[in-house]
Structure formats: C-alpha cells, structure tokens
Structure 1
Amino acid sequence: MVSTIPNYDPTLFQGAAWYYARYRSKYPKALFDLLADIFKLDGTGRLLDLGCGAGLIAIPFRDRFAEVVAVDPDAEMLKEAEEQARNLGANNIIWVQDRAESISPDCSDFRLATLGRSFHWMQRELVLEKLYSLLSDDGGIAIIKTSDDPWHSEHPWKQTAIAVVKRWLGEQRRTGKAGQGLWKSLEIPHEEVLAKSKFPRYANYEIKFEQSWTIDSYLGYIYSTAFALPSFFGKNREKFQVDLKESLLKIEPSGKFTEELSVTALIAWKQ
C-alpha cells in the first residue's frame, strides 16, 4: 500500500474556515443534477462526503438523499459547515470530525461518496480501498475538481493577484506546517490511482459555469487557500491587502471580474 500523504497536517487550513465558507466558488447546480441523473438519486439513500470542508457539497446536495454523513478532520471547517446548515434548516446531515483514512467500516451502505477539492490531500489508495466496501452495489464515487487555481491561470488579473502574494510570501508556493511547508504537485494523477483500485470503470464529466468576483470577495478567496492563509502575512496583512487592491484596480478599474470556470467530476462505479 502506497501512502501519498503520510500524515495529516492540522495547520493546513488553519484560520481559513470563515473565508472558505463565504468566498470559495460554489459548485453549480448542474453538477448536482448530473450526479443525480447518473446515480438515479431520488431523495432516498445515503451520501458520504469526505473532506467536506465548510459543506460546499453536503449542504446543497442534501435534498437528493435521506441522510448525509459529512467528514472532515478540521474542527473549524465543521463549525462553519454546521452554522451554514443550521441557517438553511438542513437537518439531515451528520457532521463527523475525522480523517477520510480513519472512517469506520461500520459506516456503510452509501449510494454515493463525494470528494470535493480534497482527494489530493489524502492517502488516495487507502481511501479508495475503504470506500469500495462502504458503497452499496449500485453506488459509486465522484472526485470533484474546479479550475479555479490562480497559480495556473491565463487571466492577467489572476496573474497579478499571485504576483502580489509572491511579493509578500516569497516565490515558492506555501502549504501547511504553519506556513513553512512547500507545495508539491501530485506525481500520479487521480485517474491512474483509480485505475489501480478495485473500481472497475470510471469516466470524466465536465461542466462550465460563470464566476464573478469583486476585489473584496477575491481577497476572501485568497485567505481561504492553503497557500495564503491570513496568518502567513503576520503584521504585513493590511499592507498586503492594500497592495492587492491597488494592483487589481490597475488591471480593472471597476474592481469587478468575471471568468468561466469548469468543474470536473471523475466518477467511478462499484460495478
């Protein structure tokens, strides 16, 4: 068994939860409609949402299931998720603080398991092995990715935003270890890991949607990321914010930005 991420880092999103709940781009309704159609969801059955974060899948997807079990190791993320759910009257979600790798085999018979913006942080082979036994025979998994990473964007305004981040945090992309860790791209893509698992077949689906930002909301997005947590800026935080706003206004004086994003669902079936 190969472990792609051997140890969980509790500082990975430390201080990001409030911003994550409010400023991360939301998944489009078309994604949930697609999954509901593929797995013939009818309001019964159970959903397992691993690495649920602030509930960006569990909450809007809840009405397609009788029960949702949402799991995340970050207590701050779960607190935000529970608050958001409570405000919406979402009462069929069970919030569990745990790692995906530690989920109990007693927690089983799920119609669908989702992993949104989270699978790359996990011990992927171990999680897939556990998931296979937790699913009903007609079930499957959906690994969801969004093309909103500004480090690889062709948009001048996003390139400008990252240039400002680099001015204050350095050229190398930080992540985890209280800001002292460095980002490493996955050497093995999800598809290759999935192909070596027990899941017999998989397919990719893509949905495009429009996302609008203001300077303030994009600042909130930046603070929601593992590479630019608010604490990373220390006493320079206000100076960073001024720099970001001034730099973005030079690109677009209105302070408003629109982009086309794509969300990809890598779906695998148990049978």
Structure 2
Amino acid sequence: MRNMKDLRNGQDPLLEAWEGASPIGLPDLPEVFFEEMRRHFRLDGSGRLLVLWCGAGVFLPLAESFESILIADPEPDRLAEARRDATRMGIRNVIPLEGGAELLHPRMGRFRLVIVQDAFLRRDRMRRLSFLAKMTEPEGGAVIAEVHRCSPLTDWQKVALEVLRQLEERLPVEKTIPCRPVEPLGHSPFRQVNLFIHRWTQRRTIDQTVKGILAASCPFSKKRSAEEALRHALRKAYSSNILEERLRLTAVFAK
C-alpha cells in the first residue's frame, strides 16, 4: 500500500533501508503513483513536465495533465519506442530529448513538475537539486524516485540472467549488489518535502517481460537474438505465461 510522510522540520527523508536491488528490466509504474502526483501537485492540464528517466516513456499517461511534456532518456532506442507509443496513443504534446542529468539547466525555462530518477542526481547532487528548485514554478515541484526489488531473485529471473550471461550482454544489477535508497535531500532548496512509498506485485506476460529486459540491458544490434533466446528459455521453464516480481517505489515529493 502507498504511504506518504511529511518530511519537514529537518527530518531525514529516508532513515530506513531494505534488502533488494534494481528490477530485472524496466518496470511499469503503478497508476497510484500517477494519481498521487496529480493530487499532490494539483495538476490541471497547465504548465510543462520534464522527465529525466531511463525509460521515460512510462510517463506518457501524464501527458493530458500538462500543456507539453519533455521526456529525456540516455538511450535513443528507448526514446524512439516512446515516440511510437505516443503516436499510437494519440499524444501530440510530447518532446523527446536524448540525455540525462546533464540536460538540467535554468535556460530550459520553468516547469510545473520535474520528475527525476534518483540515480541521475548522485553526482553533484546539491547543485542539481538547486537547478530543480529554480526550474520549477511556485505552485509546482519535483519528484525524485527509484524502483527496487523487494525480494531475492525469483527462478524466472535467474533463468533470464543466465541467458544474458551466455549472450555476453550488459546485465541488470544482481541481488548481491545492495540497493541504494533514494538519498536524503540534506539542506533542501525546497520548502516542503514528503516521502511516497508504494509496494506492489508486477505481473507480466513472458512477451512483456522480455520486452522490459531488452529495453534495459540489451544493445539494439543484438536484440533479435537475445529476444528469441529469452522467450524460448522462459517458455521452456514455465508453463504459466504470467511472471511476477515484487517491487517497491520510493519517491521524494518536493515543492
């Protein structure tokens, strides 16, 4: 279930840590997260949204809540996929940007909301947080978030990782590497900071799972061979077409 905590008066936004690591592939984000952003920041269809995220296309459902949205992703293949998804969904107010936190600059103008994956802020954190504060409108703010697994690797995840090892692909983070919680904002340039936490079980078909894994960890030139190998191995190992993964999203809401 979701949980929102008030983090004013100098309280550390994250005093707790948990076992786990990054998800296997790019996860879908829960609708409750979108709903909480709409409610907390009173999104009404005005202003601009900036998203700095690996797989920024997952935020296309927020398009109707803004006049325009800029989605930035370091990988051009994922941006191309986001453009195709926007066309399929009839969304016309999306501007794709290739890159990560290096894009942050006051000359970009001001935004109603900026959503940033916490990993993009771990270098030169305070300067980038100051950029975020300057780039947001008075009635808007920023969301700094990450998603991690809530449990050790499942059997299907071990099968998928073994296939990727055999193909010598760039791998997702393994369970032996501890997760890094969303870092505290320290002396925050924002006047109000809250913590949002949500745990859920992601259920995907094998085809959806393979698509998410490849988007996160496979070079475009090798996707076809990896896709065939992953799909074959998972279907051989599992009679069920539905694969599950326990995930936890932690986000700092700042305004």
Percent of aligned pairs with the same amino acid = 26
C-alpha distance in 1 between matches for 2:74 and 2:205: 31
Q: Contact 1:146–1:262 at 8 Å: present in 2 too?
A: yes
Within the alignment, does 1:104 sit opposite 2:105 as a pair?
A: yes
- Name the structure 2 match of 1:190: 182
Q: Summarize the Cα distance change of 1:97–1:254 in structure 2 as closer, same or farther, 3 Å threshold.
A: closer
Cα deviation for residue 48 of structure 1 reads: 1.3
Q: Contact 1:209–1:260 at 8 Å: present in 2 too?
A: yes
C-alpha distance in 2 between matches for 1:209 and 1:240: 24
TM-score, normalised by the number of residues in structure 1? 0.68
Following superposition of structure 1 onto structure 2, how do residues 32-47 of structure 1 map, counting pairs within 5 Å?
32-47=34-49
Q: Summarize the Cα distance change of 1:207–1:124 in structure 2 as closer, same or farther, 3 Å threshold.
A: farther
Cα deviation for residue 219 of structure 1 reads: 2.4
Count of residue correspondences: 230
- Counterpart of 2:129 in structure 1: which amino acid? L
Q: Contact 1:72–1:96 at 8 Å: present in 2 too?
A: yes
Structure 1: runs of 5 or more not aligned: 1-22, 176-181
- Counterpart of 1:105 in structure 2: which amino acid? P
- Name the structure 1 match of 2:250: 264
- Counterpart of 1:132 in structure 2: which amino acid? A
- Name the structure 2 match of 1:67: 68
Work out which structure has the larger RCO, using CA pairs closer than 8 Å and 6 or more positions apart in sequence: 2
Q: Contact 1:169–1:233 at 8 Å: present in 2 too?
A: no
- Counterpart of 1:190 in structure 2: which amino acid? V
Q: CA RMSD, aligned part only? A: 3.7
- Map Cα deviations across residues 28-74 of structure 1 (whole Å, 9 max, x no partner): 221111011111111112211123635111x1111111222222343
Q: Contact 2:74–2:99 at 8 Å: present in 1 too?
A: yes
Q: Summarize the Cα distance change of 1:198–1:237 in structure 2 as closer, same or farther, 3 Å threshold.
A: same
- Name the structure 2 match of 1:26: 28
- Counterpart of 1:211 (choices 202, 225, 235) is 202
Q: Contact 1:174–1:183 at 8 Å: present in 2 too?
A: no
Q: Summarize the Cα distance change of 1:263–1:157 in structure 2 as closer, same or farther, 3 Å threshold.
A: same
- Counterpart of 1:158 in structure 2: which amino acid? Q
C-alpha distance in 2 between matches for 1:224 and 1:139: 31
- Name the structure 1 match of 2:18: none
Within the alignment, does 1:254 sit opposite 2:251 as a pair?
A: no
Q: Contact 2:197–2:250 at 8 Å: present in 1 too?
A: yes
- Counterpart of 1:46 in structure 2: which amino acid? R
Cα deviation for residue 141 of structure 1 reads: 1.1
C-alpha distance in 1 between matches for 2:252 and 2:81: 27
- Counterpart of 1:264 in structure 2: which amino acid? T
